[in-house]
Chain A
């Protein structure tokens, strides 16, 4: 029936996409809860801010890993680039945070565009290696160009109030958290929209089977490049946020462990439905805080153990847990697919 009448198909598709795009109450509750936590625990604002930024970073990885199925071990490259772009801008005396944020995202996006073609060739292993190599190269560049980046000493700088109104930094930790929250929310909304657009459906097709997606007439290369650039911009924005709210940048931003950590966060929370990164980031950072308070030197061991168990027990099954939780509270919403 639908084949005979293409406009009916289009209409049904549009209705389907619209239905998926609607905000459901567990989601609204989720965001309100974060906001409530920021106001309820001002003494914890620093760690909340860290969680929000890590969540944005994990969200950006989710865009490529969860939506398009592209693995990356070097996502820290864009995080670091964004952070350094914002930091260098601020250290040159242009201290407006919004400007720095946009610049950080833009620089990372350009780098994403430049490196995206490398991802189109080879298998997963090649991608892991290329992304890792790029991030290490950038770290080495930052290390060797001390005149611009401060080298191993990093950069210290100060930041003007957000929009000229809200001072952030050590004296304004809550404002910093709110600033990160606002950026995260806006970017999340855009990502959510992207995931539910025809573009997002095309990415899902590429993730499931790139060859077949291509045979259906999807220009897979362009889609992959596009989402990679978007993800890079997101990671850059996260980096810029971190630089601005902590007012320091250092070389460890490009470290391998950053890329690994963000992947862990996403995997803990579950990839592919956008909330996974946020949930995983909060779980990871809270876990790290609790464990490192108990055994400061050996907290990595427990994270490692958790990972090994996670993989052996079946990552997919555990990744489903948050979704099942949502299904438990809101069966109707879950059946239609929350995101």
Chain B
């Protein structure tokens, strides 16, 4: 029972890191970025390839898994995404689907179709017993790392000057610009952080989902969207609670009532949208 709960929390935390970048672009910047999973895939590949081909230790690959997608994100944001900030949702959807369709064959061409495994170091695998409850060490590690990331993000957005500027730029880009905030730069940085987090999430998730392969962006796209939808699109805390809720429900559901499987999270999403279209944990008014 407790094991399932912990597994659920770990899964939820993982979802959070994967989706938190999306809640920045989609939630804060109102950009429907269906290509988010592609950045996660890049991060996963960076870790897997660095470990398998260069023999780098797992922990050292994680910063790279953050940085490379972040740089890629900025490059794409500066060249392509920014043209579509004001575009209709339909255009954004089409554009980012196009990016996903391009990313998958590129990955298959460069790296191959077979999943790239991430082999965890010995000190992260195995289980420990606490009061008779078996806990996977890697699960604990995920909860720890993702918890730190969540706290850091929240502080970053709420306490720092940059966070305030970002929120201002999102609420009204023109006024923010008039106040001397460099909106372009803010958006670029936010996008980079979002892409980097996706990459980090992809690297951490690689072991849990059984390796990274070219279909990763589509396989998890829907899950990301559900997290953001359920969590509400206004901020990190909503995304955190949303992912935890979904993680626990999904793991528990698959364990106790396997016959309905993935049905639960879809149902949660649709019910959420009916009851509270702005998301469960959104500010009262939403946007």
Q: Which residues of A contact B (CB under 8 A)?
A: 65, 71, 73, 118, 121-126, 128-130, 132-134, 136-137, 140-141, 143-144, 256-257, 260, 263-264, 267, 297-301, 303-308, 310-312, 315
B270 at the interface (CB under 8 A from A): yes
Task: Report A-chain residues with C-beta under 8 Å of the C-beta of B97.
Answer: 260, 264, 304, 307
Q: Pick out which of these stretches binds chain A: B85-93, B151-159, B244-252.
A: B85-93
| A304-B101, A307-B95 as given contacts; A71 in contact with B270, CB under 8 Å | no
Q: Interface readout for B230-274 with A: 1 if CB under 8 Å, 0 if not?
A: 000000000000000000000000000001111100110110011
C-alpha spacing A136/B91, complex, angstroms? 22
Partner of B267, one of A137, A143, A267: A137
Interface residues in B193-241 by Cβ distance below 8 A to A read 218, 221-222, 225-226, 229
| A125-B89, A126-B273, A263-B94 as given contacts; A308 in contact with B102, CB under 8 Å | yes
B134 at the interface (CB under 8 A from A): no
Task: Report B-chain residues with C-beta under 8 Å of the C-beta of A136.
Answer: 222, 262, 266
Q: Which residue of chain B lies nearest to A309 when distances are taken between CB atoms in the complex?
A: B98
C-alpha spacing A308/B270, complex, angstroms? 30
Task: Report B-chain residues with C-beta under 8 Å of the C-beta of A312.
Answer: 80, 83, 95
C-alpha spacing A211/B123, complex, angstroms? 61
B140 at the interface (CB under 8 A from A): no
In the assembled complex, 9 residue pairs joining A and B whose CB atoms fall closer than 8 Å, in A order, are A129-B273, A130-B270, A133-B270, A137-B270, A143-B261, A300-B101, A304-B99, A304-B100, A312-B80
Task: Report B-chain residues with C-beta under 8 Å of the C-beta of A134.
Answer: 270
Q: Which residue of chain A lies nearest to B91 when distances are taken between CB atoms in the complex?
A: A311
In contact, B218 and A256 (Cβ under 8 angstroms): yes
Q: Which residue of chain A lies nearest to B259 when distances are taken between CB atoms in the complex?
A: A144
C-alpha spacing A310/B259, complex, angstroms? 42
C-alpha spacing A132/B106, complex, angstroms? 26
Task: Report A-chain residues with C-beta under 8 Å of the C-beta of B103.
Answer: 304
Task: Report B-chain residues with C-beta under 8 Å of the C-beta of A121.
Answer: 273-274, 277
Task: Report A-chain residues with C-beta under 8 Å of the C-beta of B90.
Answer: 65, 71, 124
In contact, A140 and B222 (Cβ under 8 angstroms): no
Task: Report B-chain residues with C-beta under 8 Å of the C-beta of A132.
Answer: 222, 225
Task: Report A-chain residues with C-beta under 8 Å of the C-beta of B274.
Answer: 118, 121
In contact, B261 and A311 (Cβ under 8 angstroms): no
Task: Report B-chain residues with C-beta under 8 Å of the C-beta of A315.
Answer: 91, 94
C-alpha spacing A134/B266, complex, angstroms? 8
Partner of A122, one of B32, B104, B263, B273: B273
C-alpha spacing A136/B218, complex, angstroms? 13
Binding site of B, secondary structure by majority: helix, strand, loop or mixed?
helix
C-alpha spacing A267/B262, complex, angstroms? 31
C-alpha spacing A140/B268, complex, angstroms? 14
In contact, B32 and A128 (Cβ under 8 angstroms): yes
In contact, A307 and B266 (Cβ under 8 angstroms): no
Task: Report B-chain residues with C-beta under 8 Å of the C-beta of A129.
Answer: 225-226, 229, 269, 273
In contact, B91 and A305 (Cβ under 8 angstroms): no
C-alpha spacing A118/B267, complex, angstroms? 13
In contact, B98 and A308 (Cβ under 8 angstroms): yes
Task: Report B-chain residues with C-beta under 8 Å of the C-beta of A304.
Answer: 97-103, 105
Task: Report A-chain residues with C-beta under 8 Å of the C-beta of B222.
Answer: 132, 136, 256
In contact, A300 and B270 (Cβ under 8 angstroms): no
B108 at the interface (CB under 8 A from A): yes
In contact, B95 and A308 (Cβ under 8 angstroms): yes
| A71-B90, A310-B94, A311-B98 as given contacts; A126 in contact with B277, CB under 8 Å | yes
| A144-B259, A307-B94, A311-B95 as given contacts; A124 in contact with B89, CB under 8 Å | yes
In contact, A133 and B98 (Cβ under 8 angstroms): no
Tell me, rounded to whole Å, the shortest Cβ–Cβ distance linking A298 to chain B.
4
Partner of A137, one of B98, B101, B266, B273: B266
C-alpha spacing A132/B80, complex, angstroms? 26
| A128-B93, A140-B262, A256-B222 as given contacts; A301 in contact with B273, CB under 8 Å | no
C-alpha spacing A267/B95, complex, angstroms? 12
**Which of A124, A128, A310, A311 has the most chain B CB atoms closer than 10 A to its own CB?**
A311
Task: Report B-chain residues with C-beta under 8 Å of the C-beta of A126.
Answer: 273, 277
Q: Which residue of chain A lies nearest to B90 when distances are taken between CB atoms in the complex?
A: A71
In contact, A300 and B94 (Cβ under 8 angstroms): no
**Which of B103, B218, B229 has the most chain A CB atoms closer than 10 A to its own CB?**
B229
B175 at the interface (CB under 8 A from A): no
Task: Report B-chain residues with C-beta under 8 Å of the C-beta of A256.
Answer: 218, 221-222
**Which of A118, A130, A143, A267 has the most chain B CB atoms closer than 10 A to its own CB?**
A130
Interface residues in B100-151 by Cβ distance below 8 A to A read 100-106, 108-109
Task: Report A-chain residues with C-beta under 8 Å of the C-beta of B261.
Answer: 140, 143-144
